[in-house]
Amino acid sequence: MLRSTVGLCIIIVAGCWPLTTTEVRSEQAVKVDQADESYKDQIAAIHNAYWKSFAGADLWTIGQMWDQNDKSISAIFPAAATPAVGWDNIAESFRRAFSHNRDIKTDTRIIRTYRTGDLAWLISTVKFEAVQTQTGQPVLINRMFTTEIFALRGGVWKLVHYHGHNPEFAPPMEGPENMNVNVTVPKRAPSAVWAAYDKFGAAFQQKDLAQMFEVLDSDDEVSALQPTSPIPFLGIENVLASWKKTFADIESFTFDPQVLELSESGSTAWITDLSQFHIVFKDNPNEVRHFHNVMTTLIFRKRGHEWRLAHYHAHFGFSFDDHNH
């Protein structure tokens, strides 16, 4: 009932929720296919051990949490320019993070946990403190967001994707003189998931909230982590309100996917997207600004014969791999 009511609200008003409704809510929006919900404790334990090991620069222990046999595992680090794919590349990203930081301290809180079949994911906040190795300067990130995807492999939950970003980071916007014209067309393996991805992308580029709504998952099970927002958006109303706020400052934009990686397991799939965005802001309509390293994780779930977007996590990457954290 809520979904149809919200849909009518979007079509008539194109966004009628105040942004004050975007608080974090504590209830779990999980409909598990199996009665056993012990997975929550299991992946919470992995999550906590992961961040404890990160603080200790313990790469070996971190590696045991990943499915290293899966060549498609991936990670998007806050201070990276591109996603890392495969354990060797992920491990190298950790090594660089540890070489740039010492005396690391982390404090994490899980916001929400989801599961469908043998795939589960969580979203969390992490407080990160460290000292930069080269300069001795303190590093403090009060609220970093993460998306962590786990797969049940041989009865054990293993990490298969990680995405972390700092919403306080404001990337430099490049002017027309730096425009990247080398647009590539990523190859795609055949999958019905692409239809949902394309439908969402077309609606997103047109700033069409009503059409975006049509691609979203069930009312309470949708979430979004936006590039510069200090709060997560939970539930379909808040997620759509977050995009409405984003679109309010934009006159028009286009985006060109450069790298697309699809992973699919049963009724769950996720896409890792590296794109360049070209944006005209309303306060300066005569200039196009360019973002060349926008990285996004999109999680889809199959509902009947349709794939629907359940989680969206995007951030502005660095123009080069800095790997400070």
pLDDT tens, position by position, 113-160: 999 999 999 999 999 999 999 999 999 999 999 999 999 999 999 999
pLDDT at 169: 79
Cβ atoms of 226 and 167 within 8 Å: the answer is yes
pLDDT at 173: 58
Query: CA nearest 302: which of 273, 260, 265?
Result: 265
Residue with tokens 């992961």: 50
CATH code for the structural domain at 2-13+171-316: 3.10.450.50
- Residues (pLDDT < 50) of the chain are 1-2, 4-35, 177, 321-325
Q: Domain ranges for the chain, please list them.
A: 2-13+171-316, 39-165
Cα–Cα distance for residue pair 130/110, rounded to 1 Å = 21
pTM: 0.85
* Residues 60-97: b if buried by 16+ CB within 10 A, e if exposed: eebeebbbbebeebbbbbbbbbbbbbebeebbebbebb
**Token pair of 158, please?**
């293993």
Cα–Cα distance for residue pair 205/202, rounded to 1 Å = 5
Class of domain 39-165: alpha beta
